[in-house]
Amino acid sequence: MEFLPASHVPYTLPRKDPSIAFITCIYPIETDIDCTTPVLERPVHYLEAQSYGKAQVVAGRRTPYPYGLAGSFRENGSRELMELDCIGVAEATEELILMEKELQSKPR
């Protein structure tokens, strides 16, 4: 998993807040199973230890494009902030959803 402070992300985001970690890359090894939970568990603890207050990611509503399924992030405590775009993916359209998870930041 790779992340940047939201203030450093070149995408149009509702808030460019440096206390928000924006996940820019999260790729599972297995493509036919959803492994969002195990992939996120350890990095979320790291982000909390670095005093980030929130983590954001762009997820697909029906497919894991670009960084996972919105439903999987929702099951892990994230909420939908907004639909960012609708694109063509494998003979269908996909809604790209900005998801956000509140973190339990720990003082440094």
Residues contacting 51, CB < 8 A, separation 6+: 19, 105, 106, 107, 108
Count of structural domains within the chain:
1
In a domain, 66, yes or no: yes
pLDDT value at residue 78: 93
How far is residue 62 from each of residues 15, 50, 82, 94, 98, measured CA to CA in Å? 25, 32, 15, 6, 14
pLDDT value at residue 31: 59
How far is residue 93 from each of residues 24, 65, 68, measured CA to CA in Å? 22, 11, 15
pLDDT value at residue 102: 95
pLDDT value at residue 54: 95
Domain containing residue 75: 2-102
In a domain, 107, yes or no: no
CATH of the domain at 91: 3.40.630
Please state, in angstroms and rounded to a whole number, the distance separating the CA atoms of residues 106 and 3. Answer: 18
In a domain, 108, yes or no: no
pLDDT value at residue 99: 95
Those residues of the chain that have pLDDT short of 50 are none
In a domain, 38, yes or no: yes
Can you give the pTM of this predicted structure? 0.84
pLDDT value at residue 68: 82
Give the residues across from 93 on adjacent strands: 88
pLDDT value at residue 69: 85
Please state, in angstroms and rounded to a whole number, the distance separating the CA atoms of residues 31 and 2. Answer: 18
